[in-house]
Amino acid sequence: MFDQDELAEIREQKERWEEETRGPTVERFGERKERFTTDTAGHEIQPLYTPDDVSDLDYEEDLGFPGEDPYTRGVYSTMHRGRLWTMRQYAGMGAPAETNERYNYLLDQGQTGLSMAFDLPTQMGYDSDAEMAAGEVGKSGVAIDSIHDMRTVFDGIPLDEVSTSMTINAPASVLLAMYIAVGDEQGVPREELRGTVQNDLLKEYIARNTYIYPPEPSMRIVTDIFEFCAEEVPNFNTISISGYHIREAGASAAQELAFTLGNGIEYVEAALDAGQQVEEFAPQLSFFFNAHNDIFEEVAKFRAARRMWARIMEERFDADDEKAKQLKFHTQTAGSTLTAQQVENNVVRVAYQALAGVLGGTQSLHTNGKDEALALPTEESVRTALRTQQILAHESGAADTIDPLAGSYYVEALTDDIEEDAFEILREVDDRGGMLQAVEDQWVQRQIQDVAFERQREIEEGERVIVGVNEYEVDEEPEMDLEEVTEEDQQRQIDSLETVRAERDDEAVEDALAALEEAASGEENVMPYIVDAVKAEATTGEICDVLRDVFGEYHPGSAL
């Protein structure tokens, strides 16, 4: 680094440059904007960054080396030079058989991990024939009513050879139990099952609203999953603490980071309160971030996230195990940036967002299909999205060195700025009694809404250019083939569910559900009982209804 005399000389030379070189040019021609800022955090971007902007940087303390504390430069020593990120394409196609077909197609095309999208009734813990499910079966993902559906999804796919991510929250215990049960049927030892279950209930109250139970019993289920998996499924990530949906709701990069890590703190505290040891569950915590438009802001966010989590785990929770301090994360490109106008432009947006994830050191990546602003992605658009990752991996050079933007005066300064902003938000969260209390008070939601409102105002007033929407528009849009889920498709799923109910052993189902009710009413871990229930062919809705009866349902405006 530079000593003080050298920094003083750099400052002096920069002032000279501003006055003699840049100043006259700006005075004569101006610049594109009066003020440049990062995409969402609003940090003013200086015209030039020098060593003086990172003069406080301590390499050993703030950066270090990949695979070593504080993990700013990556959680693994070889990062993408040793193993490329897992390429996951989020997929769930109406009926289980269609999803199986899509999964086999993606694996044949070179995808290295599976990612399950569930329809809205499944996410809310309803069966396909429930009144609340009418018109929504299979529309936003696959309908999973029973172990029969999960078995169909993974027909011919050995679960010891794939890693599967399941984007499911309130009924996460049920869908994880079905996955484990299918693994048991395939003869796969539970310790060989790999993947991630999202299981992030706090962000549901903040951003998505697909909750079922009040927060307290929801947190109990979360920690029951932690405990069960630590003993039974040790290589499965027990939670994906998600900033993705918080960002989709309108949060800034710093808010996404702060509220996600704040939720992580709540989960760690809940597990410790339940008597678990941090070294037992913390290594299997994982995170899920959004990759938005501003490449440098996103890279800085990912780097700051690793450094912050290492410090939080060490300083708040006295974690000694290095694996407990490592923030491992999945990235998805930003669905909220996709436009229905000129959908081909979305291919470009997704590519740049994916580049930010790779440069930021993600462990796995989903790239959105260009048509997802309109419908479920077609096979063609999913292939293009996957090819985007493969081109990044094999042609761009982005994966050939570790943390390639490290040392950039701009990126290092921005990493520090985002970290400082996020810690400031976390301090206010602490002052408000933690994330649960801040959510109960609607404070978190208001912070996000304020940013979302301002962003929309900027778009409507033309201050923020969205290509093809408020600038560079065209009069006509080409027709596109879109995936559709028909009424006939939905009825076939309902008919399949009725067949399961007609052919199963009703007494075995009743016994399994009664045992689950007793466990939920007491203090036993509910997971073994849920596994037994799905093996007895109890449905998603039936299991969730038992837990609804015991725990109650959460309604907005009620006390958390």
Quick: pLDDT tens for 448-487.
Answer: 999 999 989 989 999 889 999 998 999 876 676 666 778 8
User: For 332-360, what is each residue's pLDDT tens digit?
Assistant: 999 999 999 999 999 999 999 999 999 99
Residue 41: pLDDT band (50, 70, 90) is low
Residue 557: predicted pLDDT: 61
Cβ contact 263:311 at 8 Å: no
Q: How far apart are CA 413 and CA 430, in angstroms?
A: 26
Position 560 pLDDT exceeds 50: no
Does residue 11 come out as left (phi exceeding 0), alpha (psi in the -120 to 50 range) or beta? Answer: alpha
Alpha helices in 18-164 (DSSP H): 23-29, 79-82, 96-108, 120-123, 147-153
Cβ contact 154:148 at 8 Å: no
Cβ contact 448:343 at 8 Å: no
Closest by CA to 203, choosing from 166, 237, 164, 239, is 239
User: For 85-121, what is each residue's pLDDT tens digit?
Assistant: 999 877 666 789 999 998 998 899 988 888 899 999 9
Position 376 pLDDT exceeds 80: no
Residue 208: predicted pLDDT: 84
The mean pLDDT value for 430-456 works out to 92
The mean pLDDT value for 222-238 works out to 94
Residue 486: predicted pLDDT: 81
Q: What percent of the chain has pLDDT over 70?
A: 97
CA dihedral 385, 328, 444, 201 (to 10 degrees): 90
Q: How far apart are CA 135 and CA 447, in angstroms?
A: 33
Report helix angle 345-359 to 379-394, nearest 10: 40
Cβ contact 447:257 at 8 Å: no
Q: In Å, how far from its chain's centre is CA 464?
A: 26
- Residue keyed to tokens 């740049």: 352
